[in-house]
Amino acid sequence: MTILRIVLFLSLSTFSFAEITSFLHVQGRDVVDDQNNVVKLRGINMDGYFWAWDWDQNLHNSYATQADIEFLDSLGANVIRLCLNYHYFESSDGYNFIDNYLQWCDSAGIYVLLDMHVVPDGNNIFFNSVAEQQLVDIWQGIASRYVDEPAVLGYDLMNEPWPDDASVWYAFANRLIDSIRTVDPTHIIMIENTLGGETFEVSDDANVLYSYHDYSPFAVSHAAATWVGETPVTDDYAYPGEVLTSSTWLGYSEDQPTWTMSSSSWRYWDSGNLIVPENADYAYVKPNVWGNVGNVYYDDLGSQKNGANFSVFNGGAEQASSSDANQPSIWFFLAGGSHTGSWATTAHSGSRSLGISGTDPNGWAVWGQGAWILTAPFIPVTAGDTLRATGWIHAANISGGGVSLGFDYVSAVTEYYDRAHLLSDIQYLLNWSETNIKPIWCGEFGCMSAAPGNSQENLVRDKIAVMNEAGLGWAMWSYRAPEPPSFTLIYDDSLDVPLTNVISQGFTGFTWPNAIADLRLWHVGQDVTLRWSPVDSAVGYTVYASPTTSADLNDYTIVGTTSNSVFTHVNGLSSQQQFYVVVVNF
């Protein structure tokens, strides 16, 4: 017995090899060619290992070959978003890199969007006039070189900008546009909104395509991602389903003891059993003080739940933060009054501890862990569980204050995610586009392969369906990664067939109306059995099959109906491959 998903085979054998002769431009809410035919741009990001420059200055040149572009052409892609690192342009290498892709893509009829994915000084560019000018010069050089190249879709000015004030970005974007237009009046220019997700500021330039990135729900799309924070995103949430979207502070362990007497040496702390209150979903160990405590140090922290040990992330405070080498990893400091926190060198073991200093009689301070959906440091709890906090405390100068070690309690905020929720997440951008008569497209979306079950295919399929129904162009993130888990179609040279099937159908305009998202296929001999999760309120299901995939349901033949969530297509593989679609009847 073989278990397969969505399709049993995918034929990839034809190539277009159509040289591009038409520049694309913006017209109202659409992108059109020189005959004013609407072009729906659907493709994929080619990240080019942009992140590897610091240790390998040539790896980007081995990311893909012409065969990869021909493969994407066979799937139906008509655009790639080519990620650039500003370092490439410290020599002629950057232009050679682009030229290769243009040669390959031009012959395949695929447009190339040039995306400046890494800019000088990163997100600090907005505070660095030298870095800003460097980016201005780079873009002007690129535009000068490719002004007459129709295979270039346009210029994506900066990937995911995030200044303190969005208006700072839009002002700089307009400066970049003005510079580019002195040498290139023709190509589309792409402006992204910031990571804050605001609607766009309208540019005075008439040939702008406005780009957003969409990774909702983040706990699914970034399942097991290690680069989001200092602990991995968990892989606990499936799509469709109930998904963690944030967490809120519920309270603290009010039954924890307090020390108000000084000690000149390290003392062992054991909170005893503390009872988890109602509505708590998580807990984490929290060093805390109040009042005049002088200098206090916490080290070698531990915890227990219902008698079982739970490790405290960086409980010995030895690991430095990846974002700030002068702070302890995972921990954050919060205070009221004049109390201060430090990554102290006074230690019970090792060389570091968590320090708190303060003499304000009305002040308080804590060290905490975790935030948003980064729940890996948390202890999962339910009401009535017993917790214990342990560790070593050095508090030699308490004078009218107190020190303690207990827990903070956190409530999970979840939302049910399905196709309707995905649409609601971008509706404000669709409304903006309609109101301002400006085009938008999705420059990045995708899902990590570590998401449970078929979540990756389900989420990507529904994202594409929502965008195709709305008439948007898009580029999935991304094409290749060295190894899983990641978002990609290819790991080294291994193809993710289910995800490839989804995106290939998406390129042709599929929307899968009322289609089952978690279809499973088994075949024994020539018989094919389909199973799926029952859909609430469904009165029945219609099963369609076709030897070729198509965006038009009329190209499929009805092979049966069923009132249950299972159907056997007898002799379904008698002569050739089959593509199946199950449609819900309400």
178-225 residue pLDDT tens: 999 999 999 999 999 999 999 999 999 999 999 999 999 999 999 999
What is d(CA 109, CA 573) in angstroms, rounded to the nearest whole number? 35
Residue with tokens 């278990």: 3
The residue-averaged pLDDT of 66-75 equals 96
Q: Residue ranges of the domains in the chain? A: 42-225+439-507, 241-415, 520-585
Residue 541: exposure state from Cβ atoms within 10 A (0-12, 13-18, ≥19): buried
Arch. (CATH architecture) of 520-585: Sandwich (2.60)
Query: Is the pLDDT score of 375 beyond 60?
Result: yes
pLDDT for position 19: 84
Main-chain phi, psi angles of 218, to 5 degrees: -65, -35
String of b and e for 114-151 (b: at least 16 CB within 10 Å)? bbbbbbbeebebbeeeebbebbbebbbebbebbeebbb
The pLDDT tens digits of the residues spanning 453-504 come to 999 999 999 999 999 999 999 999 999 999 999 999 999 879 998 999 999 9
Q: Give the confidence band of 366 by pLDDT, cuts at 50, 70, 90.
A: very high
Q: What is the mean pLDDT of residues 371-379?
A: 91
Mean pLDDT of 88-107: 97
Is the pLDDT at 1 greater than 50, yes or no? no
* Nearest of 558, 519, 534, 582 to residue 6 by alpha carbon: 519
φ, ψ for residue 432, nearest 5 deg: -60, -45
Helix (H, G, I), strand (E, B) or coil at 175: helix
Classified as helix, coil or strand, 63 is coil
Confidence check: pLDDT of 550 > 80: no
pLDDT confidence of residue 549: 75
Average pLDDT of every residue of the chain: 93
Q: What is the pLDDT of residue 575?
A: 63
pLDDT on residue 521: 78
pLDDT range class, residue 551, cuts 50, 70, 90: low
Name 246's Cβ contacts closer than 8 Å, sequence gap at least 6: 372, 373, 413
Under CATH, what is the fold of the domain 42-225+439-507? Answer: TIM Barrel (3.20.20)
Residues with Cβ < 8 Å from 579, sequence gap 6 or more? 7, 8, 545, 546, 547, 548, 549, 550, 556
pLDDT of residue 282: 97
* H/E segment holding residue 354: strand 353-358
pLDDT at 578: 78
- What is the structure's pLDDT at 17? 38
Percent of the residues in the chain that have a pLDDT greater than 90, as a whole number: 83
Over range 100-119, report the average pLDDT.
98
